[in-house]
Amino acid sequence: MKFKNISEEMEFSQKRYNLRKDIENLFIEKNYTNYETNIIEEVKENLPADIQFEDEQTVKIIGGNGKISVLSRDITTNLLNNILPNWERENNLKLFYYGKTFKNTNSKILENRQMGAECIGVDTIDSDKEIIQLITSIMSKYKDNYIIEIGTSEYLKGILNEFYLDNTEYKTIINLINKKNIEDLKIYMKKFENSPSKEALLSIINMRGSLKQVLKNAEKFYLNEKMKKGLEELIEIEKYLNEKNLNNKNIICDLSTTSSLNYYSGLMIKTFYENSNKEIIKGGRYDINWDGYGEVIPAIGFSVDIDELLRKIYIKEEI
Amino acid sequence: MEKLRIALPKGRIGEDSVDLFKKIGIGNIINLKSRKLVFYDSENNIEFVLLKNADVITYVENGVADIGIVGKDMIIESKKDVFELHNLKFGYCNMCIAGKKDKEIYKRDSVLKVATKFTNSTKEYFEKKGQEISIIKLNGSVELAPVLGLTDVIVDIVETGSTLKANGLEVLEKMYPINSMIICNKVSYRFKYGKIKRIIDSIIKIEEGN
């Protein structure tokens, strides 16, 4: 962000601090502990691949001894890199963080401020509920017109498991669903025999609406264990939202969310403000299946794009 | 009723789009013969903006327009992050490799020189084929490049092939078919889903002859 003068920059900086404190207070009220993450990370070979970033968007640094490190791409992975090697069964962590992430684009290195919360090793459905409640508190604090989009990675993964796809087929289908391109998806799927799972896949882009409506629609299709698991988690969340009177027009369910499908293992959440062109919050369940530990560690969390949130509320002078 | 902004390209695709919108009862106010670039349909609370073809996708990606109509060539070339909601039944053509008759396209042992406006999709296509190329970006009259010896072949949109023929060229290979599409901004999709879906459903009904 560019400023006209120093006083404008100082004002913006103070508002960013206030915003950070506001959200921190929400975390502290729920007994979350602050965790400081590192900016520079080592790539650890013994951790699960799906919790590490290593691609062309990662900013790499070469040290004096020729060893390559990376600038933090995502704070959750940074945090897991630090805590997983010492993980013990009785650990039950509720953490929050504030930090910077870095992304390499064609023209420059982008720096982004991220804040978020993670529940690691905490009983599944209770942590789902707490995370949704925190997200609702943040979104409703600053604007009335927002959308919390809820989905599950397991329903779509369950459908795709039925097809025994090769890598190219998998990527093509995911790309078409990601683009909501239902017509080209229908054309592409012609080479597969008609089946209940094909019918479910071709319906997935339209599985969008209120939780009640989408769950009713999704249950009509063929359900394997993975799909069932995804829907059961959403049914519990619907019950919770109804109990707390939170199941309103701001909550939308969409079963065709594909971003980071391999990373997530259940609930997926994205939130939006109108007139903002980016997600304000994103997160979900990413239970960790790690050979180095031997058991699945339940994990759920979310991150808030502080820069985007501030841009939207600063303009309106709502903070 | 929320306001919707629709970006339309000037030219033939824009004309076909306006005809289609009028058939479903929106945009009756649009007059393409006037010099105006913005038309407001107050009855349906929809604003139409007329843009250069290549700019439609940029306006939609950035959320300035909620939906837009654009050729698939622009979507593939620009790699912009938008939803592709509906294939329209106009704007049909093909992205093709063209050159002088009997020209060999694939030369494993040397670099093929290609003139085009569509540098990204050309690079990707030849990479998949394993052919090393050197791209020369041109902004118009691409057909002249092989005729005057600037490049071996061209990559361009071919509708009827008459421009190629008039310049002594022919299609050597069809890369992919193109049609016009309705694209949508990712945040608008979330906030204005109902209104956008109603427009697309009405268009589908017209296309199916109902």
What pLDDT, in 10s, does the model give residues A101-123?
898 887 789 888 889 999 999 87
Per residue in A170-199, pLDDT (tens digit) is: 999 999 999 999 999 999 999 999 999 999
Residues 262-291 of A with CB under 8 A from B: 272, 274-278
Q: Which residue has the higher pLDDT, B17 or A78?
A: B17
Per residue in A133-152, pLDDT (tens digit) is: 999 999 999 988 999 999 99
The answer to whether position A138 is within a domain reads no
Is residue A291 scored above 70 in pLDDT? no
The confidence band for A316, taking pLDDT boundaries of 50, 70 and 90, is low
Total Cβ atoms within 10 A of residue A240: 18
The answer to whether position A125 is within a domain reads no
Q: Which residue has the tokens 């993964």?
A: A157
Nearest alpha-carbon partner for A318 in A24, A21, A19: A19
Provide Rg for chain B, Cα atoms.
Answer: 19
Yes or no, beta carbons of B190 and A275 under 8 Å apart: no
**Are residue A163 and residue A267 in the same domain, yes or no?**
yes
Per residue in A152-161, pLDDT (tens digit) is: 999 999 999 9
The pair of structure tokens assigned to A223 is 């359900």
State the pLDDT at residue A45: 57
A144 touches chain B (CB under 8 A): no
Instruction: Tell how far CA A101 is from the center of its chain.
Output: 15
State the pLDDT at residue A46: 52
The answer to whether position A278 is within a domain reads yes
Q: Which residue has the higher pLDDT, A237 or A296?
A: A237
**Are residue A150 and residue A282 in the same domain, yes or no?**
yes
Q: β-strands A251-254, A146-152: how paired?
A: parallel
Which one of A76-90, A122-136, A292-306, B4-18 scores highest in mean pLDDT? B4-18
Which chain B residue's Cα is nearest to A254?
Answer: B190
Yes or no, beta carbons of A179 and B84 under 8 Å apart: yes
> What CA–CA distances, in Å, run from A166 to A156, A171, A181, A264?
16, 9, 20, 21
The answer to whether position A13 is within a domain reads yes
Q: State the DSSP string of chain A.
A: ---SSHHHHHHHHHHHHHHHHHHHHHHHHTTPEE-PPPSEEEPPTTS-GGG---STTSPEEE-TTS-EEEE-S-HHHHHHHHHGGG--TT--EEEEEEEEEEEE-SS-EEEEEEEEEEEESS-HHHHHHHHHHHHHHHHHHH-SSEEEEEEEHHHHHHHHHTT---HHHHHHHHHHHHTT-HHHHHHHGGGSPP-HHHHHHHHGGG-EE-HHHHHHHHTTS---HHHHHHHHHHHHHHHHHHHTT--STTEEEETT--TTTTT--SEEEEEEETT--S-SEEEEE--EE-TTTSSEEPEEEEEEEHHHHHHHHHHTT--
Residues of A in contact with B189 (CB under 8 A): 180
Residues in chain A: 319
Three-state DSSP class for residue B54: helix
**Are residue A103 and residue A235 in the same domain, yes or no?**
no
The confidence band for B137, taking pLDDT boundaries of 50, 70 and 90, is very high
**pTM to 2 decimal places:** 0.89
The answer to whether position A157 is within a domain reads yes
The structural domains of chain B, with segments of one domain joined by +, span 4-91+179-207, 93-178
**Are residue A302 and residue A242 in the same domain, yes or no?**
no
Share of chain B above pLDDT 90, in %: 85
Q: Which residue has the higher pLDDT, A71 or B47?
A: B47
Is residue A319 scored above 60 in pLDDT? no
In single-letter form, the type of residue at position A130 comes to E
Is residue A52 scored above 60 in pLDDT? no
A194 touches chain B (CB under 8 A): no
Per residue in A240-280, pLDDT (tens digit) is: 999 998 878 899 999 998 877 778 899 999 999 988 889 99
**Are residue A86 and residue A166 in the same domain, yes or no?**
no
The answer to whether position A33 is within a domain reads yes
Residue B123 near residue B112, CB atoms below 8 Å:
no
User: What average pLDDT does this structure show over B161-187?
Assistant: 94
Provide Rg for chain A, Cα atoms.
Answer: 20
CATH number where A112 lies:
3.30.930.10
Residue A156 near residue A204, CB atoms below 8 Å:
yes
Q: How far apart are the first and last CA of chain B?
A: 26
Considering only CB atoms, A276 lies closest to which of B82, B87, B187, namely B187
**Are residue A160 and residue A280 in the same domain, yes or no?**
yes
Q: Which residue has the higher pLDDT, A94 or B108?
A: A94
A252 touches chain B (CB under 8 A): yes
Residues of A in contact with B70 (CB under 8 A): none
State the pLDDT at residue A260: 73
Query: What is the spatial distance between Cα B59 and Cα B75, in angstroms, rounded to a whole number?
Result: 13
Share of chain B above pLDDT 70, in %: 100
Residues in B lying within 8 Å of A, measured between beta carbons? 62-63, 82-87, 184-187, 189-191, 193
Which chain A residue's Cα is nearest to B85?
Answer: A181
State the pLDDT at residue A259: 76
CA distance A210 to chain B (A): 12
Average pLDDT of chain B, as a whole number: 93
Q: State the DSSP string of A33-76.
A: EE-PPPSEEEPPTTS-GGG---STTSPEEE-TTS-EEEE-S-HH
**Are residue A171 and residue A104 in the same domain, yes or no?**
no
Yes or no, beta carbons of A277 and B83 under 8 Å apart: no
Q: Which residue has the higher pLDDT, B209 or A133?
A: A133
The confidence band for B176, taking pLDDT boundaries of 50, 70 and 90, is very high
Domain holding A53, by residue range, is 1-120+288-319
The CATH class that applies to domain B93-178 reads alpha beta
CATH of the domain spanning B4-91+179-207, picked from 3.40.640.10, 3.40.190.10, 3.30.429.10, 3.30.565.10: 3.40.190.10
Whether B4-91+179-207 shares its CATH topology with B93-178 is answered: yes
The pair of structure tokens assigned to A215 is 């769950």
**Are residue A173 and residue A60 in the same domain, yes or no?**
no
* Number of domains composing chain A: 2
A288 exposed, middle or buried (CB, 10 Å; 0-12, 13-18, 19+)? buried
Give the alpha-carbon dihedral of A197, A201, A202, A206, to 10 degrees: 130
**Are residue A168 and residue A93 in the same domain, yes or no?**
no
The answer to whether position A127 is within a domain reads no
Query: What is the spatial distance between Cα B3 and Cα A166, in angstroms, rounded to a whole number?
Result: 43
User: What average pLDDT does this structure show over B81-92?
Assistant: 95
Which chain B residue's Cα is nearest to A252?
Answer: B190
The answer to whether position A294 is within a domain reads yes
Residues 46-75 of A with CB under 8 A from B: none
